[in-house]
Amino acid sequence: MWTYLPQLDGLRAIAVYLVLLYHARLSQVTGGFIGVDLFFVLSGFLVSNVIFAEIDKRGRFSLGGFYARRVRRLLPAAVLVVVATSVAFVIVSDVVRRISMVSDARAALLYYANWHFLSQSTDYFAQDLEPSPFLHFWSLAVEEQFYIFFPILIAILVRRATRFARATAVVCGILFAGSVASQIFWAFREPNHAYYGTDARLYQLLAGVLLALLLRARPQVLAGVRGRVLSVAGIVAILLFASNRVDVSASVRGFVATGASVAVIGGLTMLPDGWLARLLSRPTPVYLGKISYGTYLWHWPVILVLREVLTVRPYTIAALAFALSTGLAALSYQIFELPIRTQPRLVTLRWSAVLAGLTTSALVAAFLVAPVLQADRLPALRSFGGASAAAAAAKAKIPGDGPVPKGIDWKAAVHDLGHSKNCPATDVKACMVVANNGPLVLVVGDSFANMLGPMFVKLARDHGFSLAQNVVQGCPWPSDLVDSAQTHALQSQCATAREHWYATALPQLKPALVVLVMKPRDTTPHLATLEKSRSGQLSSLTPSQLIYRTMSDTVKQIRGLGPKVLLLQSVLDASPALPLNCLARSTRLSQCAVKYPTVFPASDGYMQALAASLAGVSTASIDPVVCPTPPLCVPYRGGQIVFRDRHHIMTGFAVANRAKIWDLFVRSGATQGL
């Protein structure tokens, strides 16, 4: 029953431009990402129909032929876009940002991007973060993983099953139900997995397969008025749920989009003469649909490059991205993709074409993307995140100002993340880092404690005390403080590392001093999620009261068990927001000057109040070491980069300046007896 249906190409055009408008941040298209859901259902439907048509014609199915067609169809454009994007970002972006893109590009080329970004806990909806230009390859990875698995399944069934269509429907139905269950499970437990995970998105591709099986077995189901109504209702639902008119979760939107996609694809297939099918079969939407794969590949890096070089409204970004990504896709399609797909000698190749394509992709991933993206050169088009500080620097000389030094190891700087240990209360020996004859110092905290971890190791060896650490990134040290914005897995990890840990672990460790370090939780985003996370006795407290209460209760609990307590206050909030990136794209240190804060987090005051009211409790701030020349400080001193990002200093800087930081600890009174 399968023939080419131009109206489905027209439907592809709708899908790709919904995604483009969403990525351009148009407020009216806040659900435009469901264009990907439509793509998934379409892919499942079209690919399965091609396979079933081959089985009808030949009675068997060629895996090599299928994979060769997929390689010729998908891989050349993907490799071209990855290479071109890498070169483009050398022109517009700094090396610090580009270093992290290397693994992203490799994941894109080898089609495991969805799991790669999931492992990094990348939030697809976190629009305030600097996203990777290869982020959109996650959906192509899901499709490619399906294209590997599904043909093998069909090849097995066509050989073994006596009733092929029935067996295929049963197996795909079971897999569909399992994937739906996975989507529901992860939607509540970890939304990022629900969005990126192949297991959670497979149901959409299988919905297309099941639709193909249904129409082959019972085409009358979507014939006549029923098909016409469903196709119109489907397209209306897709456009409605792509808009800002419906406020539902991504998972719910995905379920609706899947059902709507099945309806519109089925209706368009069975009613090729309907008005919607005729509209989508017109030359323009059909051509845009034919190049939609390329448009999808190009649109996201185009949008990011435009944002790098222009400060314009989303409508302008959308219009420029539409024109540029469509133009690039058309050019690539005509002069690069189409010749590879239709060249007679290449068409006859099977496994050798697969091997050649995969080898090319692997070689580019292994040997090309890193040298390009890690090229240590200033971007040709650059802006300075520290514009206000630079303007102030022009009026007043900053101590330490000078040219940005040559030969900085940016890769080492990007990966200078610190290191530390954590342990369960049942195995406190795992917390031990340095064993000396002196008293034990225990460091507890989150990523702030992690960045200072190597410094504490050096201090322990310098001053002869023993050191233990219980550090979990993302976990504040108060035992009853929870951030509901964190993933379920991290919340569970934090609960294990904090709740009841002090009462159980401290009597075993017997530390003389407990150093508590964390990122301030009294910024606006944290306050909102902290408020939502509380229940029972603490539910009536305001977020600020909650922070103080949990800090106070934890400090009193520790003091009640004997150890002294040192509370490390927040490290100054660096401006520009990305000081390391600013340094990598600047010529002088003053262009990235950091302003000493005039307002400090309220939690710093809470710590000072606890130190003033409780015996054996001290507090210290390392800001005088981080920024010794207020009101402005250069981000590079003594051969060391000072800041890794807005909230963290470099581990190497802390180690190099440990003597000065130790002096601050001594002045606080916390080190007496060590």
Return the domain boundaries, the chain. Answer: 6-373, 410-668
> In angstroms, rounded to a whole number, what is the distance separating the alpha carbons of residues 467 and 91?
46
pLDDT reading at 385 higher than 60? no
Pair 103, 115: CB distance under 8 Å: no
Compute CA 283 distance to the chain's CA centroid, rounded to the nearest angstrom: 38
Here the tokens at position 536 are 């029972």
Alpha-helix runs per DSSP H in 93-197: 95-99, 101-109, 113-119, 137-160, 164-189, 191-196
Angle in degrees, 0-180, between the axes of helices 101-109 and 137-160, rounded to the nearest 10: 30
> In angstroms, rounded to a whole number, what is the distance separating the alpha carbons of residues 275 and 232?
10
Which residue did the predictor score with more confidence, 129 or 457? Answer: 457
* Residue 117: per-residue pLDDT: 93
Pair 621, 601: CB distance under 8 Å: no
Taking all residues of the chain, what is their mean pLDDT, rounded to a whole number? 90
Q: Worst-scoring range by mean pLDDT, 220-229, 351-360, 527-536?
A: 527-536
Check if CATH label 3.40.50.1110 holds for domain 410-668.
Answer: yes
pLDDT reading at 296 higher than 90? yes
> In angstroms, rounded to a whole number, what is the distance separating the alpha carbons of residues 517 and 583?
27
> In angstroms, rounded to a whole number, what is the distance separating the alpha carbons of residues 486 and 533?
10
What is this structure's pTM? 0.89
Distances, alpha carbon 460 to alpha carbons 17, 148, 506, 588, 590, in Å:
58, 53, 19, 36, 35
pLDDT range class, residue 123, cuts 50, 70, 90? very low
Host H or E run for residue 502: helix 501-509
> In angstroms, rounded to a whole number, what is the distance separating the alpha carbons of residues 362 and 356?
10
**Phi-psi label, residue 25: left if phi above 0, alpha if psi -120 to 50, beta otherwise:** left
Pair 298, 329: CB distance under 8 Å: yes
Find which of 99-113, 393-407, 477-491, 518-532 is predicted with most confidence, using mean pLDDT: 99-113
Model confidence pLDDT, tens digit, residues 237-255: 999 999 999 999 999 999 9
pLDDT range class, residue 451, cuts 50, 70, 90? very high
Alpha-helix runs per DSSP H in 310-350: 314-332, 338-342, 344-347
Distances, alpha carbon 553 to alpha carbons 481, 545, 550, 571, in Å:
11, 12, 5, 23
pLDDT range class, residue 388, cuts 50, 70, 90? very low
Model confidence pLDDT, tens digit, residues 612-657: 999 999 999 999 999 999 889 999 999 999 998 888 999 999 999 9
Residue type, 407: G
Average pLDDT for residues 189-208, to the nearest whole number?
95
> In angstroms, rounded to a whole number, what is the distance separating the alpha carbons of residues 46 and 213?
11
Q: What is the dihedral of CA 637, 639, 644, 648, to 10 degrees?
A: -60
The residues, any chain, with a CB within 8 Å of residue 273's CB and separated by 6 or more, are none
* Residue 474: per-residue pLDDT: 87
pLDDT range class, residue 197, cuts 50, 70, 90? very high
Enumerate the β-bridge partners of residue 640: 637
**Phi-psi label, residue 86: left if phi above 0, alpha if psi -120 to 50, beta otherwise:** alpha
* Residue 5: per-residue pLDDT: 92
Host H or E run for residue 542: none
Token match 């979990």: residue? 472
Pair 133, 301: CB distance under 8 Å: yes
Pair 606, 571: CB distance under 8 Å: no
Count how many Cα atoms sit within 13 Å of the Cα of residue 635 in the half-sphere of its side chain.
37
Enumerate the β-bridge partners of residue 440: 466
- 575 CB-contact burial (10 Å; exposed 0-12 / middle 13-18 / buried 19+): buried
The residues, any chain, with a CB within 8 Å of residue 113's CB and separated by 6 or more, are 104, 107, 134, 135, 137, 138, 140, 141
pLDDT reading at 218 higher than 60? yes
Count how many Cα atoms sit within 13 Å of the Cα of residue 218 in the half-sphere of its side chain.
7
- How many Cβ atoms from other residues are within 10 Å of residue 277's Cβ? 22
